[in-house]
Amino acid sequence: MSKGLFISVEGPDGSGKSTQIDLLKKYIEGKGRRVTFTREPGGTPIGEKIRDIILDPENTEMASITEAMLYAASRAQHVSEVIRPALERGDVVICDRFVDSSIAYQGFGRGLGDAVATINSFAVAECVPDVTLLFKLDPTVGISRIKRAQDRLEKENLKFHQKVYEGYLEVEKANPTRVVGIDAGRDIEEIHKEIIDKIGKLL
């Protein structure tokens, strides 16, 4: 059993995850707990290189299985190099996207199904979040909020993003104790209050 607390944050592109993670990190540090913030794909030097390959809009020929395995490879390195050691030290780990992103994007969006859970359970070796904040927002709203250049996944069509979102709703249904759904269509302060109310109890 690790001493830390593992929080993953999930949801469609542009749903406000980064904005809320910044606020949550400050809140937790204010309570005197050490926070390790990290993100996927990436989070380690090897993972960042994998991230560049996955998200490069020029890699139009990438097969869905390759994509799923690259995300899982980045994650395996991330768990071993960053997440597990931080939890063993007793940190609160906040991870911007984790296995549920692969279930939603590769499992549902790309249609790879249950194989995605199988390769990911091998990759993370039982390192599962204690709590997952799922930002619930219509994917069209999320995409419309993104002002910077879009990466390879963000450039996918609306049908893909709708399937991803349905995938997230399935993940929520299948994991009612771990996954906390957050209505991400409200204003930033209101969402932050709900999150600290839920996370504060776990610290």
Q: Which residues bind ligand TYD (CB under 6 A)?
A: 13-14, 17-18, 39-41, 55, 71, 96-97, 101-102, 105-106, 151, 153-154
Residue 43 interacts with ligand ADP (CB under 6 A)? no
101 binds, among ligand TYD, ligand ADP, none (CB under 5 to 8 A by kind): ligand TYD
What Å distances lie between residue 65 and 15, 69, 86, 114, CA to CA?
A: 26, 6, 30, 12
> Which helix H or strand E contains 72, and what residues bound it?
helix 64-78
Residue 41 interacts with ligand ADP (CB under 6 A)? no
Q: Which is nearer to ligand TYD, 18 or 34 (CB)?
A: 18
Q: How far apart are the first and last CA of the chain?
A: 16
Q: Are 108 and 120 in contact (CB under 8 A)?
A: no
Query: Minimum distance between the CB of residue 11 and ligand ADP, rounded to whole angstroms?
Result: 6
Q: Which is nearer to ligand ADP, 119 or 171 (CB)?
A: 171
Q: In what order do the strands lie in the sheet with 92-96?
A: 35-39, 92-96, 5-10, 131-136, 179-183
Residue 162 interacts with ligand ADP (CB under 6 A)? no
Q: Are 86 and 93 in contact (CB under 8 A)?
A: yes
> Per CB under 6 A, which region of 27-35, 68-76, 103-111, 184-192 contacts ligand ADP?
184-192
Residue 187 interacts with ligand ADP (CB under 6 A)? yes
**CA geometry: angle 17, 65, 141, nearest 5 deg:** 30
Interface ranges with ligand ADP (CB under 6 A): 11, 13-19, 145, 187-188, 191
